[in-house]
Amino acid sequence: MSKLLYNALQTPSLKEVINDLRKVCKKLEIDFFAIGALARNIWYLSNEKEARGTRDVDFAVYIPNEKSYQDLKKELIEKYNYIQSTSNSFCLLSPHNVELDLLPFGEIENDDKVQIEGKGLTTLNLDGFLETYKLGITEFEIESEKLKICSLPAIVLLKLISFDDRPEERIKDAKDINSILLHYPSMETDLIWDEYNFLYDGEKSHQQVGIETLGYEIAKIIVQDEKLTKRVTNILRKAILKQSRLSIHMIENSVKETIEEKINLLSYLEYGIKEGVKK
């Protein structure tokens, strides 16, 4: 478990927002964990990588029914002065001007989707959230407070699905996938050497083996769900065959990077997932 400081995460008033959520979830007996940019930043900082500042934070909340979800939002609005977004029913604006996205999953889901009453966005596809909750959670310590966040493999898993759902609206997800693929081999060196050294065959680079390792770790999360496994592998296959724009949107610098380089990264990931599912 790594110790971190809230200020280093570059989200103003993050501590206050998390403390508000923690109090309400404890009262309502709701479990939650960080996803998205916040989870990515926590992992990066714990590995001495640069974090990118963000004014919106995302949490997955384990919810039995819509009433529990509405009670969660109501408590934050009435007791802590949060404001409901008019364009996104899953988003609240904190008194500190931080956008708080609360993504409900669990028994509230119907065919991997959640639909709630509200204005603007009222339906979400939450493929992979329950699997992440069961097999893709890590605990960090931030200023002596424990916080559950999703693992790096789970972040990539959820971002692949998010991009596939709304590709033109989720270009940042493609950038984050690219960033994690590039950083993962140096961030998880011990795991790679301890558990995946068999992937080295004399020709593979450490980067390739590292990304294949990431694929194996994603496979551990999704292997029990055949439908989810098929969806993830199809997302990667489409990208590799240039039937989607994932590889294009992964490019940060068009002068130094090429689509083929990104396709190679995705191919390593696909290989790791497919081999991991077989184990």
Structural domains present in the chain:
3-150 (3.30.460), 160-278 (no CATH)
Residue 54: predicted pLDDT:
80
pLDDT average per 10 residues of sequence, the chain (279 residues): 78 94 97 96 92 88 95 98 96 95 94 88 92 97 94 98 93 96 97 97 93 99 97 98 97 93 98 96
Residue 158 neighbours by CB distance under 10 Å? 26
The separation between the first and the last C-alpha atoms of the chain, rounded to the nearest angstrom, is 28
Residue 1: predicted pLDDT:
47
Report CA-CA distances (Å) from 154 to 5, 215, 231, 271: 23, 10, 15, 17
Q: Supply angle C-alpha 275, 265, 51, rounded to 5.
A: 115
pLDDT in tens, 7-22: 888 888 999 999 999 9
Would you call 171 exposed, middle or buried from its count of C-beta atoms within 10 A (0-12, 13-18, 19+)? middle
Residue 277: predicted pLDDT:
97
Q: 149 pairs with which residues across the strands?
A: 34, 138
Residue 2: predicted pLDDT:
55
